[in-house]
């Protein structure tokens, strides 16, 4: 029975392990036992030079998902792949993922907008470039990645006032 298993790899070598594993499956004639090898990723919007850029980020660094029918041969193919350190689970009995975990990891639920990730740090000085407070400068007091907003302390009438602005409304100084 085909199930999804999590394979532990060297961190940063996920794509190489995927490539090596797919090559080994073909060369050792295990296409019947190993269906799919996936490196879980998500699309993330980042601000670079005041431009929104969408990039692919690994959601589980150091792990690869394999859809396979677990038997002696398929286990040996995966375990013997360069860069693979083992299966997630006990040493002799890998634990398959539940369908809910697979759906979540492979993003089969309703496709959401790509998540935006801050390229800012607390305490950094930024300049507001749009909105009612454009041309004001201030220091970042808080970062809210989920809402893609910053809380910036801006000096208005000689007094520091917290203002909430979007990532795209400011630029670094």
Residue ranges covered by each domain of the chain: 2-115, 118-172
Is residue 38 classed exposed, middle or buried when 0-12, 13-18 and 19+ CB atoms within 10 A define those classes? middle
Which of 14-23, 59-68, 115-124, 133-142 shows the lowest mean pLDDT across its residues?
115-124
CATH topology of domain 2-115: Alpha-Beta Plaits (3.30.70)
Check: CB of residue 52 under 8 Å from CB of residue 45.
yes
pLDDT band for position 114 (cuts 50, 70, 90): low
Distance CA 161, CA 63 (A): 45
Instruction: Give me the pLDDT at residue 4, please.
Output: 92
Q: What average pLDDT score do residues 116-143 get?
A: 87
What local confidence, expressed as pLDDT, does residue 118 receive? 66
Evaluate whether the domain defined by 118-172 bears CATH number 2.30.30.30: yes
Integer angstrom CA distances of residue 50 from 81, 120, 146: 42, 12, 19
- How far is residue 63's CA from residue 155's CA, in Å, rounded to a whole number? 47
Query: Which residues lie across from 76 on neighbouring strands?
Result: none
The mean pLDDT of 78-91, rounded to a whole number, is: 86
Is this structure's pTM higher than 0.75? no
The stretches of 51-158 forming alpha helices (DSSP H) are 72-79, 99-105
Whether the pLDDT of residue 112 is over 60: the answer is: no
């Amino acid at each position: 029975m085909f199930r999804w298993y999590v394979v532990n790899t060297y961190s940063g070598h996920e794509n190489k392990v995927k490539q090596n594993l797919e090559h080994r499956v073909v060369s050792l004639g295990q296409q019947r036992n190993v269906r799919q090898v996936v490196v879980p990723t998500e699309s993330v919007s980042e601000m670079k030079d005041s431009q929104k850029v969408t990039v692919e980020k690994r959601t589980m660094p150091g792990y690869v998902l394999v859809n396979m029918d677990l038997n002696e041969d398929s286990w040996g193919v995966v375990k013997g792949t360069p860069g693979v350190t083992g299966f997630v689970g006990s040493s002799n009995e890998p634990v398959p993922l539940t369908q809910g975990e697979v759906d979540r990891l492979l993003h089969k639920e309703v496709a959401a907008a790509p998540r935006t990730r801050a390229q800012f740090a607390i305490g950094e000085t930024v300049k507001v470039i749009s909105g009612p407070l454009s041309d004001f400068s201030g220091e970042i007091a808080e970062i809210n990645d989920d809402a893609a907003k910053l809380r910036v302390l801006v000096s208005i009438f000689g007094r520091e006032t917290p203002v909430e602005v979007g990532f795209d409304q400011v630029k670094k100084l």
